[in-house]
Copies of this chain bind each other. A is one copy, B any other.
Amino acid sequence: MEKKETSKLTIYDVAKAAGVSKSTVSRYLSGRFHEISENTKQKIQEVIEQLNYKPNHMARGLKGNKSFLIGAIVADITNPYTTAILRGAEDICKENGYALLICNSDNNPLKEKEYISMLQAHQIDGLIIQTTGGNNQFLEELFNDGDTPIVLVDRKVPELSFDIVGIDNQQATYRAVSYLQSQNYERIAWFTEPVTGISVRKERFHAFQEALKLQDVNHPSLEDTYVADLKKDSELERCLEDFLGKTKHQSRVIFGANSVILLKIILALQSKGIKVPEDVSLIGFDNPEWASVVYSGITTIEQPTSQIGKSCADLILKRINGTPLMPQTLSYHANLIQRGSTPAVNKYFNKEE
């Protein structure tokens, strides 16, 4: 009996309190002030303020077919690279009154699919997705049937005509390889997680191989590419042993295809007591916060993550607002940050045990 009735405040309550009709309040809410008198405007404003009334997004959305929700499906929200992007996107969304529904696919196409469905049910107005590549069909459906703009971050899917925002992986990889060669390394090893259709990994992997081929006969062996599934226990260790074993007397550098594998490499090297850069040099993609602080700094390829996120949100919002725009790919240039992990080696270097 005494329980305070917590019945939700509606536009009707405001109307009643202000002595006008729902329609008038609605006009106020939609900012169509020229359709109402200054007096009633004031009155409504007061009442809203006093009652602390907040329009119901669901009702609004139902009517107007708009949720003010933008979905974001990422592979791993725990990855600093990812969160930096989300941060950028979030800022822009907030400025424009949109909220971000963030989902974690875990690189699992099944989970990704479930999230696509869920977001669809939530009537998202747009989707930013770092896709596993395993749900192209569903994405197309969402895009066509649902009329929902989609932008792919980071990972491209050539078959789809969605907007794409990321970096130019080829350029970045070439740049890094050429830098390493200018430092006179004899052997460059590429360490990557399984490529399995993930475009970034593919692009970087191929770019690496191409970059080597472009060089003269002295170029490092193409066998210096290692695919390690980090979920399998000692796979990475075996790769490291193989590479380090067969290059004992050469100047050598390990190239980590992203910051996740880079960290694992470092852990493995440390547990083996292998020194960087004395025993082996190191370079990696992404520029995690710790890169400057491990060893004498690790040379990395930095992406403009925040800008990538902002651009994603910008694109989505433009499309939502109906700005006419050709489908487009936005590739930012990455930036090589030289640090202590890749010192120049003497051209006639010959390592003694």
Contact = CB atoms under 8 A, between A and B. Distances in A.
A334 B65 CA distance: 47
B99 A77 contact: no
Given A55-B121, A121-B57, A293-B270, A83 B77 contact: yes
Interface in A59-113: 59, 61-62, 65, 67-69, 77-78, 80, 83-84, 86-87, 90-91, 94, 97, 99-104, 111
Nearest to A119: B99
B104 A101 contact: no
B67 A78 contact: no
A105 B117 CA distance: 28
Given A62-B58, A83-B83, A104-B87, A147 B6 contact: yes
Nearest to A291: B290
Interface in A110-133: 111, 114-115, 117-123
A2 B100 CA distance: 34
Q: How big is the A interface, by class?
A: 35 or more
A292 interface: yes
A52 interface: yes
A289 interface: yes
A47 to B, nearest CB: 16
10 tightest A-B contacts by CB? A290-B290, A58-B61, A102-B102, A58-B58, A54-B121, A58-B62, A57-B122, A57-B121, A6-B147, A78-B83
